[in-house]
Amino acid sequence: MKVIVGNNDYISGLIAEEFVKMVNQKPNCVLGLATGTSPLGVYANMIKAYKDGRVSFKDVKTFNLDEYIGLEGTHNQSYRYFMNTNLFDHIDIDKNNTHVLKGVGDYLGYANKYDELIKEAGGIDLQILGIGSDGHIAFNEPGTPFDSLTHVAELAESTIKDNSRLFNDISEVPTKAVTMGLKSIMNAKKIVLIATGKNKAKAIFNLLKGPMTEEVPCSILQKHPDCTIYVDEDAYSLVK
């Protein structure tokens, strides 16, 4: 794994350029996208590149990592809503080509065919990941099998607590989600992970220095052939 250290603006800019480069090289590429605070700067830079006429997303397909069970796509904390408002509404992507797992209705039926849909699209060319303070990626919490495909997951107590900052009250945070599995993520051809802030320092230490174990879901990335970790000084502080 390669590691790049810099402030949030710097690493967000670098990752956005990776996306721009990928889309310009392969206009019908498949992008794996993530939600959370971490990728916001990346998406802002991608929007700017589009507005500056440096890239077009019109033939791009996207697959998002996860969605809360119980939230409609119109709910302001759903990951579909997040993607529309923070990226898709501001670029020329065809929304029919944007895939986000469903949190209501036949969410299980859709989850069960998600890996197949990704495969049919040609596989993910570039996947962005954030990381949970407990080392989760997407909603793969500690203990998730390394060979997992898209599935229903129970959120860890610490994740519910971390994510409650975005809800009115902790009682409103869904306790379950649908998520791409660790194997689904590892199938991506290229992966970039972004982490900033002291509360990610332990997870980043475990990712870069710890053993590969299902107790630390992100540690599986150690065996990905093309994975780069972008961190700020705070997230990197325990490694140095």
Positions that interact with ligand GLP (CB under 6 A): 34-38, 65-66, 130-132, 138-139, 159, 163
Which residue's Cβ has the minimum distance to ligand GLP? 130
By the 8 A CB rule, do 190 and 162 touch?
no
Smallest separation (angstroms) from ligand GLP to the CB of 163: 6
Q: What is the C-alpha to C-alpha distance for residues 100 and 61, in angstroms, rounded to an integer?
A: 11
> Which residue, 41 or 55, is less far from ligand GLP as judged by CB?
41
Q: What strands lie across the sheet with 227-231, from one edge to the other?
A: 2-5, 227-231, 191-195, 126-129, 30-33, 61-64, 98-99
From the centroid of its chain, how far is CA 116? 19
Instruction: Tell me the closest approach of the beta carbon of residue 68 to ligand GLP, in angstroms.
Output: 9
User: Would the CA dihedral through 228, 233, 236, 240 be positive or negative?
Assistant: positive
| Residue 148: CB minimum distance to ligand GLP, A | 15
Smallest distance, ligand GLP to C-beta of residue 74, A: 19
CA-to-CA distance for 49 and 51, rounded, in angstroms?
6
Give catalytic status of residue 134 as yes or no: yes
Q: Which of 99, 136, 151, 224 is catalytic?
A: 136
Residue 109 beta carbon to ligand GLP: minimum distance, rounded to whole angstroms: 21
Pick the closer one to ligand GLP by CB: 97 or 196.
Answer: 196
Q: In this complex, which beta carbon is closest to ligand GLP, that of residue 97 or of residue 133?
A: 133
153 close to 69: Cβ distance less than 8 angstroms: no
For the question of residue 136 being annotated catalytic, the response is yes
Catalytic residue flag (residue 226): no
Catalytic residue among 66, 115, 125, 162: 66
Q: Toward ligand GLP, which CB reaches closer, 29 or 128? A: 128
Taking the least distance from each CB to ligand GLP, the nearer of 64 and 97 is: 64
| Bridge partners, residue 204, by sequence | none
- What lies within 8 Å, CB to CB, of 98 at 6+ separation is 61, 62, 64, 83, 88
DSSP 120-154: HTT--SEEEE---TTS-BTTB-TT--TT--SEEEE
From the list 67, 134, 162, 232, the catalytic residue is 134
Residues that are catalytic: 66, 134, 136, 141
